[in-house]
Amino acid sequence: MGFLDNLFGNNKRDRSAQVAKERLLTVLVHDRVKLTPDMLEQLKIELSEVIARYVPNVNPSEIDVSLLRGDSSDHLKADVPLRRTPPTGGNESDRASARFDSR
């Protein structure tokens, strides 16, 4: 049946139950962590302060924080662009990534 399913485009990943499970697991990462927009802003500001002690040119408004589901744990991922000095024009920047386990 697996072979036929693949042949006819009915492989397991396309089934709606599988899609439902993936979507639920992802949305629940966000629900469970309960990071409000205010907390998120504060997190970015404090993060940039800490990082600025070690690395120059961090702008809190450019930090991108996201929650991701991993296999054994969930992750809070922060993407911290570092502006190049002197500015090379445009929005070009090197990016430093930091990962923190969210549980």
Instruction: Considering the complex, state which of residue 1 and residue 61 has its C-beta at the smaller distance from other proteins.
Output: 1
The span of 4-12, 54-62, 65-73, 81-89 binding other proteins (CB under 8 A) equals: 4-12
Site for other proteins in 54-93 (CB under 8 A): none
Please state the φ and ψ torsions of residue 3, each to the nearest 5 degrees: -65, -50
Please report whether residue 1 would count as binding other proteins according to CB under 8 A.
Answer: yes
Is 94 an interacting residue with respect to other proteins (CB under 8 A)? no
- Residue 39 makes contact with other proteins by CB under 8 A: no
CB 79 within 8 A of CB 94: no
Interface residues with other proteins (CB under 8 A)?
1, 4-5, 7-10, 12, 15-18, 20-21, 23-25, 27-28, 31-32
